[in-house]
Amino acid sequence: MDGEWHRVHLLTPFVRSWLLLVALVWGFANTFVDDVVSSFVKHEPIQVDVGGAVRVVGAGLGLAVLCGVLGVLIGLGLLSWWFTRYQITGEHVRFRSGWLFRTQRQARLDRVQGIDVERRFLPRVLGLSSLKFDVADGGSSVLELSYLGRDHARELRSQLLVAAHRAAERQETARATSPAAVPDAEAGSAGADPAPGTRSGRSREGVDVRVAQKYGILSERDELRRVFTVPTARVLLALVCSPPAVVLLLLALLTAGLSVWFPEALVVVLPTAVPPLLGVVSGLYSRLERSWGFTLSEVPEGVRTRSGLFNERSSTIPTGRVQALEVTAPLLWRFFGGHRVTVTTAGKGGAGGTETLGSVVLPVGTWEQVRDVLELVLPLEQTPTDLVTEGLRGIGGSENFTTSPRRARWLDPLTWRRTGFAMDEAVLVLRRGRLARHASVVPHHKTQSAALSQGPLERRFGLSDLSVHVTPGSVTTAVAHLDVADARALLERHTQLARAARARVGARAPERPWSTAAPAPDTVR
């Protein structure tokens, strides 16, 4: 923490630009795709003639151009490395990059919620790692230090955790000693429960967890408890039963049919099908990469996920930072009891419905594992297991769930009996979908605002949509086509419960720099 500027590893620019090399190779190989496909269909030997190009250009000139291009790329890489630096002080972490267009990003250490180590395939082969900072209110703008040596990254992470905890302590002390904050701090500390992220009384092999959490002496591999590891067989079964696998099967059947009845059509169809085929394979690989070896562990800060086949990644989800949770039961997964759980976490990004590693806490698992996740990531006095169970399995209205009226079938002919909501004193549960069933859980005290909306067709049928606004993420927190009276009653009741839930949370723990309670919801009618 000397405040000096340090450079990243020398191989960083070359690791980042490996895609350029792949693009160049693909551009060269794409020239011969038609010849290869034609030879495959016509059962002729592959003939690739590059002699003409060599005679036209000249072997010496071609070699000189190739060496010149490589020299320019190496020079640009070294220039980029020279201007890529990072600085660590007692208050901030700063990262500078670029020699033509310069950028600087920084993160306040007292706002750092966690530091994760990521090792992608090529950096992992070269012994490199990157550090990703989870910053409160950081949104999708994540600060990343890449790339560093593996041992140096681990050592730097430990030092940064210590500095982050000390900076947070100084911030809390300053807030507590200010004249306006002293009464509130004393009132909050009297009879208050431990903060959601603190597991007092637990120890691991003689280590006082509270002291370890305070000074950040637990490394990224330390954990209080390994909750579960998803078996490889279940990962592969879920992959086979996923939509990309079904699309790939249909493409394979289509290709087989063409090869039998219209073999000449393959000359046109195969080159055209390469881009969508690559997209499908890429989707399958992404699912496999995010699910392979997936492990959920309990750590002092909250829970940590770790997965990766070639790219080893980990993500820490601090307790109390989860804004919403969604359990999904796809149609084909229900045959073997598979469920998927995603969360929206403040500061983790994932806006716009995208999924990141930090948003997936169970790629495919049993109902027992879903219950474990609900107990760990939602810091509630009573876990809403029964409501989530009914949200996934129930159809039609019940004692707990209010669903869309019968006239909504003209707009939702398949899902109107599934669309509905239920709530208790702590959470609001929204359900939707018939083929792929979804149940979203929103703690009342995480709600930022709520809104009703109507389109022209909905006004004609007397229906309304309700949206509950939390931190943007991959969880859907809206329910469509409710009866107008039910929607207004839900909005009013949810607003009352949100105020009461925030009052309970505020009375249990003193306010922190990264408060987990959301602001008071605004009611929009």
pLDDT tens for each residue of 449-507: 999 999 999 999 999 999 999 988 889 999 999 999 999 999 999 999 999 988 887 77
Per residue in 214-253, pLDDT (tens digit) is: 444 444 445 568 899 999 999 999 999 998 888 888 888 8
Q: Specify the pLDDT at position 215.
A: 43
Q: By CB neighbour count within 10 A (0-12 exposed, 13-18 middle, 19+ buried), where does 31 fall?
A: exposed
CA atoms of 206 and 345, how far apart (whole Å): 32
Are 1 and 141 in contact by the 8 Å Cβ rule? The answer is no
Q: Is residue 329 pLDDT above 90, yes or no?
A: yes
N-terminal to C-terminal alpha carbon distance within the chain? 52
More confidently predicted of 48 and 211: 48
CA atoms of 321 and 264, how far apart (whole Å): 58
Most confident of the following: 40-49, 134-143, 309-318, 348-357: 309-318
Q: Is residue 525 pLDDT above 50, yes or no?
A: no
**Dihedral sign of CA atoms 77, 78, 84, 89 in order:** positive
Per-residue pLDDT band at 512 (split at 50, 70, 90):
very low
CA atoms of 503 and 509, how far apart (whole Å): 11
Per-residue pLDDT band at 428 (split at 50, 70, 90):
very high
Per residue in 1-44, pLDDT (tens digit) is: 567 888 888 888 878 777 666 666 666 666 556 566 566 555 65
Report, as an integer, the average pLDDT of 431-446: 94
CA atoms of 317 and 305, how far apart (whole Å): 8
Write out the H or E segment, with its range, that includes residue 318.
Answer: strand 313-318
More confidently predicted of 318 and 33: 318
Return the axis-axis angle of helices 232-240 and 266-291, rounded to nearest 10°: 150
Per-residue pLDDT band at 58 (split at 50, 70, 90):
low
Residue of 99, 98, 113 whose CA lies nearest to 143: 113
Q: Specify the pLDDT at position 26.
A: 65
DSSP single-letter state for residue 520: P
Are 426 and 501 in contact by the 8 Å Cβ rule? The answer is yes
Q: Is residue 392 pLDDT above 60, yes or no?
A: yes
Q: Cβ–Cβ contacts within 10 Å for residue 202, how many?
A: 14
pTM, two decimal places: 0.74
User: Phi-psi bin for 361: left (phi > 0), alpha (psi -120 to 50), beta?
Assistant: alpha
Q: Is residue 181 pLDDT above 60, yes or no?
A: no
Are 423 and 314 in contact by the 8 Å Cβ rule? The answer is no
Q: Is residue 409 pLDDT above 60, yes or no?
A: yes
Domain ranges of the chain: 322-507
Helix, strand, or coil here: 463?
Answer: strand
Please spell the DSSP secondary structure of 377-426, one letter per residue. HS--SS--HHHHHHHHH--S--SS-EE--GGGGGT-TTTTTT-EEEE-SS
- Would you state the structure tokens that stand for residue 87, as one six-digit string? 């600085």
Q: Specify the pLDDT at position 47.
A: 56
Per residue in 119-174, pLDDT (tens digit) is: 888 888 888 888 888 776 555 456 888 888 888 888 888 778 777 777 777 777 77
- Would you state the structure tokens that stand for residue 424, as one six-digit string? 């208790």
SS3 content of the chain, % helix, strand, coil (to 5): 45, 25, 30
More confidently predicted of 389 and 218: 389
Q: Specify the pLDDT at position 193.
A: 38
Write down the mean pLDDT value for the chain: 77
More confidently predicted of 406 and 66: 406
Residue of 497, 380, 401, 482 whose CA lies nearest to 447: 497
Per-residue pLDDT band at 328 (split at 50, 70, 90):
very high
Are 95 and 86 in contact by the 8 Å Cβ rule? The answer is yes
CA atoms of 120 and 517, how far apart (whole Å): 35
Largest CA distance in the chain: 87
CA atoms of 236 and 85, how far apart (whole Å): 41
